[in-house]
Chain A
């Protein structure tokens, strides 16, 4: 089945700098790649997603890139703000179940 690897597990960046989180997936048939943000005590919330027929997608300060050949996808957050501090999960989906990475804890330093 699908396996999603995510790194780094922890990331600290200065406020205003950019943050990059990288993921790889194993099943070449996966065609949907959502990213979720999870704050303490809450369920994951979708922040951006990308489908396999698209290489890049941007929404304000957040962008995601997908390299299907290498089975890599990445999340980029620019101009980071204190409220960006949270745990971020990448995920991959082929048919039904969404398989998640183990998460990246992002700390925005003042």
Chain B
């Protein structure tokens, strides 16, 4: 009965480096979401996948951010040339159908610190 799994749980990287954050959704869930949460703020939408395709990537802040889900299951969020402002908790969620309106289950997040 595994939930959404995110790895690593913590990541410290130097400014300018490349990082990959992984999300294993609940088995069978077709919809997958990435959010970013800064300290004291609500989760901020980044991108939503339905199956293998990105249905909505309007929340990605710039072209340094990219996400893939090649087989419709595991997803990787990739950040190039990291900046200190990228430091946040990156949350992944999945749901059984996606929109409209089904419960999204969140993982515990990856805390990214850029030094």
Q: Name the interface residues of B87-115: CB closer than 8 Å to any CB of A.
A: 91, 93, 98-101, 103-109
Contacting residues, chain B, for A46 (C-beta < 8 A): 103-105
**Interface secondary structure of A, over-half rule:** strand
Question: Residues 62-90 of chain A: 1 if any B CB is under 8 Å from the residue's CB, otherwise 0?
Answer: 00000000000000000000000000010
Which of A1, A34, A43, A45: most chain B CB closer than 10 A?
Answer: A43
Q: In the bound complex, do residue B103 and residue A31 qualify as a contact, i.e. CB atoms below 8 Å apart?
A: no
Q: Bound state CA distance, A36 and B98, in angstroms?
A: 17
A45 and B104 within 8 A (CB) = no
Instruction: Please report which residues of chain A, range 1-26, place their CB below 8 angstroms from some CB of chain B when the two chains form the complex.
Output: 1, 4, 6
B42 within 8 A of A: yes
**Interface range on chain B (Cβ under 8 Å from partner):** 20 to 34
Asked if A95 and B99 make an inter-chain contact with CB atoms under 8 angstroms apart, the answer reads yes
Q: Select one of A1, A95, A101 contacting B100, CB under 8 A.
A: A95
* Residue pair B103, A96 in contact (C-beta under 8 Å): no
Contact A97 B104 (CB under 8 A): no
Mark interface residues in B36-55 (1 if CB within 8 Å of A CB, else 0): 00001111110010100001
Interface residues of chain A, those whose CB is within 8 Å of chain B, are: 1, 4, 6, 31-32, 34, 36, 41-46, 49, 51, 89, 91, 93, 95-103
